[in-house]
Each structure stands twice: as C-alpha cells, then as structure tokens.
C-alpha cells in the first residue's frame, strides 16, 4: 500500500543521536502518513535494542558488517512505500513543520526531484551546505588550505558553498548535502538510487547529477532543521584513502573539473 513518505536512516553507534532525533522526527511526521526505515551498520552501543524498546514501529535492517552510505540507503529505498523518501543522517533535529513544508513544496513542484531545507547549527547559525559541483582545485584547497592566504580561501569557499546566493530564497542547487535529501521516490528509483561504488563521500553529489538529467534539485528555505554535524575527518589516513577513492570514481565518471 502506498503512503506519503518513507524516512531512511543509517546508523552506526548512533544511539545518543537517535535519542535526540526520534522525538523530533515523530513530531514532524504527526500529520503525514509515513514509515521509518533504518539500517543499522553493525552498531555496538545498544542502538538496535533502544529502538526496538522505545520505537517498535521503526523497521530495522541489521548489517553484520559495515556497508557504504549509499548501499544502506538503497536497502531502504528498495523497501520504501512512500511517494517521497527522505535520506537523512541520525545527527539531525527537526522542527515540527520541517517535513510538512518539504512535502507541500514537492506537491506543487512536479519538476523537482530532490529538495532540501535550510540547515542550522545548534547555536542558530546557518550551515552553508548548498554547493556548486566540486572541482579538483576546491578539494585541494580544503585539504591544504594552510598553503593559501585566508582571504583567498574565504573567497573560494564562499563561491563553492554558494554564499554569493540568497539562502533565504528558493534556488537550484547543483550539490545537495547527503545529510538530508527529500526526494521523489519514483525519480530516485528511475536513476537506480545511489551508486554503490561510493562507500562514503561524493555519493550525494553523484545522485544529484543523475537526478538533474530529468528533474531539478532545489532548496526549500521555509523548511528548517538543526544538524549536529559529526564529521568523519578525512585527515585520518583510513578516511582520507576512502575520500581519495571516491574522488577518483566521481571525477572519472563526471569529468575532471579543475577550477
């Protein structure tokens, strides 16, 4: 049976984040016919036990080994019954009207395949997550910013993060962050979901580019949420190597933009 919205979450030792997220998510879904799908990525902190005890309606798939971000969301995509699907991180706090604004926006915007809210830090400051397509130079600059002047880094970052655009206005976004993507399910299935060759990094911009062949990717600034932003540092060798592999896959697929 079809419903309005499927929520897809991937967790890995995310119990503390889920303890914060779930009350806000339940509140945000109160007026929407929905389901919550969660893939647990081999957690060891009691995540699954907590969810089964406190939120038994959450449909949980348990991995015995860690799988990639896109692979896990594809597992939920294949089970989703919603007209729309949200791919989201566990380190999110929703407003009561976050989902309603996004759903209403998509209902009146048939040409949109993915939309996103404005995202804020806990202190109320805006996170500049809307981005232009990444280039080799942008990635080099963010990794080795110490080699450049602060003024140059700031100028380039402003451009890459679309800070020259009005975040309080609806706008087309080349690269919507994978921390929260509100999608038209039929469109995501048409482009075959996430490319599972990306374990982590670049899977979100890759999905955006696939969707942009047939639909728009757009912001919905009326909708807002808080992102606690537990970033995996690619300064650690393991994750830097994962980052490099994903960058290689991405630029091989879409072309090597230099700057």
For the chain, the residue count is 259
Q: Strand 59-63 relative to strand 34-41: parallel, antiparallel, unpaired?
A: parallel
pTM: 0.94
Across the chain, what does the average pLDDT equal? 94
* Ordered domains of the chain (ranges, CATH): 3-132+166-235 (3.90.550.10)
Nearest alpha carbon to residue 214 among 116, 110, 132, 83 = 110
pLDDT at 152: 78
pLDDT category, 18, cuts 50, 70, 90? very high
Q: Give the span between the Cα atoms of 126 and 146, in whole angstroms.
A: 25
pLDDT category, 237, cuts 50, 70, 90? confident
pLDDT category, 94, cuts 50, 70, 90? very high
Q: Give the span between the Cα atoms of 186 and 131, in whole angstroms.
A: 24
Collapse the DSSP code of 95 into the 3-class scheme (helix H, G, I; strand E, B; otherwise coil) and give the result: coil
CA angle (36, 94, 187) in 5-degree steps: 55
| The token pair that represents 230 in the structure block | 């537990």
- The proportion of the chain whose per-residue pLDDT surpasses 90, expressed as a percent, equals 84
* C-alpha radius of gyration, the chain, whole number: 18
Q: Give the span between the Cα atoms of 135 and 155, in whole angstroms.
A: 15
Nearest alpha carbon to residue 188 among 175, 172, 206, 170 = 206
Q: Of the given ranges (89-103, 117-131, 181-195, 233-247), which has the lowest mean pLDDT?
A: 233-247
Would the pLDDT of 258 be above 80?
no
Q: Give the span between the Cα atoms of 37 and 232, in whole angstroms.
A: 23
């Amino acid at each position: 049976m079809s419903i309005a919205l499927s929520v897809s979450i991937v967790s890995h030792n995310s119990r503390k984040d889920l303890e914060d997220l779930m009350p806000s998510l339940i509140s945000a879904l109160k007026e929407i016919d929905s389901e919550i799908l969660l893939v647990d990525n081999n957690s060891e902190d009691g995540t699954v036990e907590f969810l089964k005890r406190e939120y038994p309606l959450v449909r949980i798939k348990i991995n015995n080994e860690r799988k990639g971000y896109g692979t896990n969301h594809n597992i939920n995509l294949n089970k989703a019954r919603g007209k729309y699907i949200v791919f989201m991180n566990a380190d999110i706090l929703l407003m009561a009207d976050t989902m309603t604004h996004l759903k209403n926006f998509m209902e009146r915007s048939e040409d949109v395949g993915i939309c996103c809210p404005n995202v804020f830090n806990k202190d109320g400051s805006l996170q500049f997550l809307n981005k232009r397509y990444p280039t080799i130079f942008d990635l080099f600059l963010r990794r080795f910013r110490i080699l450049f002047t602060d003024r140059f880094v700031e100028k380039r970052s402003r451009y890459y993060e679309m800070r020259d655009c009005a975040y309080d206005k609806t706008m087309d976004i080349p690269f919507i962050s994978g921390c929260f993507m509100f999608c038209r399910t039929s469109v995501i299935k048409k482009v075959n979901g996430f490319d599972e060759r990306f374990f982590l990094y670049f899977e979100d911009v890759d999905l955006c580019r696939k969707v942009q062949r047939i639909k728009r990717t757009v912001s919905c600034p009326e909708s807002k949420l808080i992102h606690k932003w537990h970033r995996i540092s690619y300064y650690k060798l393991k994750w830097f190597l994962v980052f490099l592999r994903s960058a290689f896959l991405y630029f091989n697929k879409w072309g090597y933009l230099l700057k």
